[in-house]
Amino acid sequence: MRKIFHFFHSVRVVSLLVLTLLFAGQAQAATMVDIYGPGQNQIKLSMASPLTAPGQRATALGAELNDAIVADLNFLPFMQLIPSSAVLGGTVLSAWQGADVDFRRFQIAGADLLVTAHWPSGDRENSTVELRVFETYSGKFVFGNAYSGVTHAEVPNVADRFCDDLMAALTGARGFFSSSLAFVKGNGRKRDVWVVRATGRDLRQVTNIPGAAMSPSWSPDGRYVVFSHIDDSTHALGVWDRLSNTVKRVRFPGNTVIGPCFLPDNRVAVSLSTGHYPDIFLLNRQFQRERPLEQSSAINVSPSFDATGTKMAFTSSRLGSPQVFLKDFSTGTVSRVSMDGSYNSEPCISPDGTLIAYTKATPSGFRIFVHDMVTGTDQQISFGPGRDEQPAFAPDSYFVAFTSTRSGSSQIYLTTRHGGEAKHVPTGPGNASFPSWGK
């Protein structure tokens, strides 16, 4: 009944041993939250105090892990955490599973779910923790995992892994807590590509070259980040190869390289200008120009592709002002997406192909909107203050990262396709912009 998984982290490999805890007669719960549909409901969750024995709180790694899980769950807009002070009788339990768990105090506090943590051999370095999730009203077991070899350094990874499993159990969508963002950081004319976990962990710089990086895009296979790079005299396609940890600049005739974006097959589309207007070209796997994807007597920039690669959203000035368009490669047709307003740009199509997020100029500044391609309606999902721009759909088609100056400087935030409360992604000192998701 037990399975052993190896857990691969998107930035560095972590080898934690994870045991899935299953209980006879206790099946996995069905999806509890429909994060994709309208009227997404809220889940209220309470954390029991971590225990080393019945009634014995785990105060070392146990406390750290509970804090890390709470920090992670705060990124989920559909999750409402019940503070321990709201639980009458406290959160220290006499059991971590079974009939001895006092679910009633958590029911009274309004919690739908309860998380228990048990450290059977204490919560010292290199110990094991069992994490379990129950429905408070039925006492039903939702899922559980045991993690061995837990150290201080691994606590955040255990929290991420557990929260990824929890989100998958509740919503059916997995990957947010193990995903990474490539983004641009720096000031003035020196800006480089950095990567960070969506939760703000594992921040690191991956390029360090004179000039300004823009528009990073992470290859679906995770190997490359491409970006446009501008120094005093040239535009180039920057290519960071994660395998060799090297960066190269690829020049093109016309000296214009704007907004590269990977297709699902790991090829790149980018706007180049070779005497005609900036048009969108497909590059081959050696990053050389192969053929045009979209040409017209107007500016064509900012391509974005769905997971099938048959739909491309882009910005074009063919009607005068910048507007968002959609090209369907299966029919060759181009249709206008943004109907309202005089300045709509930076489209990002959701991998599931149902929504296009884009930046609209409104009377109060740039804001992020999503266009629903099924209903044809548009919904505002960011509300400032300041300037909100550069939306990027996560691989789960649920989260949307974007850049905002709401705190003064340019920083990266997360919201959802429904416009959930925006959460800041910590990226350290310096301006941060152009978020792009990797897996």
Using CB under 8 A as the binding rule, whether residue 371 contacts other proteins is answered as no
* Binding residue for other proteins, selected from 74, 81, 128, 343, defined by CB under 8 A: 343
Is residue 234 part of the contact set for other proteins (CB under 8 A)?
Answer: yes
Residues 308-337 that bind other proteins (CB under 8 A): 315, 317, 321-322
Cα dihedral value 198, 200, 206, 207, nearest 10: 100
- 256: contact with other proteins by CB under 8 A: yes
Q: Say what the alpha-carbon torsion angle 254, 247, 258, 329 is, to the nearest 10 degrees.
A: 100
Of 78 and 281, the one with the shorter C-beta distance to other proteins is 281
Shortest Å, Cβ 396 to other proteins: 25
* Residue pointed to by tokens 């910005």: 315
Q: Residues touching other proteins: how many (CB under 8 A)?
A: 33
Triad 171, 134, 126: Cα angle to 5°: 95
Q: Which is nearer to other proteins, 181 or 258 (CB)?
A: 258
- Kindly state the DSSP code that residue 200 receives in the 8-state scheme: S
**In the chain, what is the greatest distance between 2 CA atoms, to the nearest angstrom?**
76
Locate the DSSP E strands across 41-171.
43-47, 51-53, 56-57, 79-81, 113-118, 127-135, 141-150
Cβ-contact 209, 229 below 8 angstroms:
yes
Inter-helix orientation angle 61-73/155-171, to 10°: 40
Which range, of 41-49, 98-106, 108-116, 233-241, touches other proteins by CB under 8 A? 233-241
* Cβ contact 77:420 at 8 Å: yes
Which of these, 346, 350, 305, lies nearest to 329 by C-alpha position? 305
In 3D space, the residue among 312, 240, 239 whose CA is nearest the CA of residue 282 turns out to be: 312
Minimum CB separation from other proteins for residue 276, in Å? 10
Name residue, tokens 């501008």: 230
- Location of structure tokens 């934690």: 16
Please select the residue that binds other proteins; options are 7, 21, 122, 277, rule is CB under 8 A. 277
Please say which residue, 95 or 361, places its beta carbon nearer to other proteins: 361
351 lies in the binding site for other proteins (CB under 8 A): no
Burial class (CB in 10 A: 0-12, 13-18, 19+), 207: buried
Site for other proteins (CB under 8 A): which residue of 359, 415, 416, 436?
A: 359
Residues 281-310 that bind other proteins (CB under 8 A): 299, 301-302
Nearer CB in complex with other proteins: 303/351: 303
Candidates 305, 389, 399, 438; binder of other proteins (CB under 8 A) is: 389
Site for other proteins contains 215 (CB under 8 A): yes
Q: How far apart are CA 420 and CA 247, in angstroms?
A: 36
**Near other proteins by CB under 8 A, which window of 121-129, 157-165, 209-217, 417-425?**
209-217
From the list 14-22, 76-84, 238-246, 340-348, the region that binds other proteins by CB under 8 A is 340-348
Q: What 3-state class would DSSP assign to 170?
A: helix
396 binds other proteins (CB under 8 A): no
Q: Using CB under 8 A as the criterion, which residues of the chain lie in contact with other proteins when the complex forms?
A: 189, 212, 214-215, 228, 230, 233-235, 255-256, 258-259, 271, 273, 275, 277-278, 299, 301-302, 315, 317, 321-322, 343, 345-346, 359, 361, 366, 389-390
